[in-house]
Amino acid sequence: MLGDARKAQEIFETTLREAAQRAAHGELPKEPFWLFREARWRCLEASKTSLEAEPLELDQHDLTPQASSQIEQLEPTQLAIWISGAPEPQRTALALFYLDEFDYREILDLTELKPGELSRLLALGRRQFQAWLNTRISDKPAL
C-alpha cells in the first residue's frame, strides 16, 4: 500500500495498538473488517503526506500464458513497489485482492467500490502489470 516498509510498520503498530486500547475499554466496533478499514485509511493518510509519482498512462497488454513464469522471476519487493505506485482506489483493490484473504464482496465492503468499478480496476491492473512484465522480463524461457 505504501511502498515504504518503515511507514507500513509504523501504521501496522499504531493500528494494532489502538485496537488493543479499544479492546481494553470494551469499545471494539461490531462491524466486520473495521481493523483493515482503519489500516487502509491510515495508509491513505500517510501517502497524502509523502511524495507521489506523477499519474502516468501505463501501457496495457493482454494476459499471456507465460505471465506466471515471468512473475516467478520477480522479487516480491518489485511487485510490492509496483502495487504501491498504482493510484487509489486501484492500489487498495489490487492489494486486498492479491492478499487472497477476502472474497470480492468483502473487498467491495472494505473499499466502498461498486462491483463494476472493482472489476474494471482489477482487469486494468492485470493488463498494466502484464505490459510492465513484458518490458522488464523476457517471456522466452531461459535456456
Partner 1 sequence: MNTQRLSRRQRALLNCAPISEERIRDRSMRSALFRASNSNEFANQRSFDRAVASLVGAIPIPPETAEWFSKKELIATPGRTWKKTARNPAALAIGIAVVVIAGVFVFQLLGRLNDFPGSATARKLLTIAGSTRSVLLDPVNADAGTLSDLFFMKHGLEHYDVPEEFADFPTIGCRVFDDDESRRIAQIWVTEKRMQFFLFPAERDVKTGAVLGFPGWRYVHQEGWVGAVTEHNGVCFMAALRGGERDLAPYIFKSKE
Q: Footprint of partner 1 on this chain (CB under 8 A)?
A: 5, 9, 12-13, 16, 19-20, 23-26, 28, 63-65, 67-68, 71-72, 74, 76-77, 79-80, 97-100, 102-105, 107, 115-116, 118-120, 122-123, 126, 129-130
CB nearer to partner 1: pick between 5 and 53: 5
Question: Nearest distance from residue 47's CB to partner 1, in Å?
Answer: 18
CB nearer to partner 1: pick between 26 and 55: 26
Question: Nearest distance from residue 140's CB to partner 1, in Å?
Answer: 17
Compute the distance between CA of residue 28 and CA of residue 19 in angstroms, rounded to an integer.
7
- Determine phi and psi for 8, rounding to 5 degrees: -60, -40
Question: Nearest distance from residue 124's CB to partner 1, in Å?
Answer: 9
- Outline where the chain has alpha helix (H): 5-24, 34-49, 67-72, 76-84, 90-99, 104-111, 115-136
CB nearer to partner 1: pick between 43 and 107: 107
Question: Nearest distance from residue 19's CB to partner 1, in Å?
Answer: 6
| Residues 6+ positions from 62 with CB-CB distance below 8 Å | 127, 130
Compute the distance between CA of residue 3 and CA of residue 5 in angstroms, rounded to an integer.
6
Only one residue has cell 467491495, namely 108
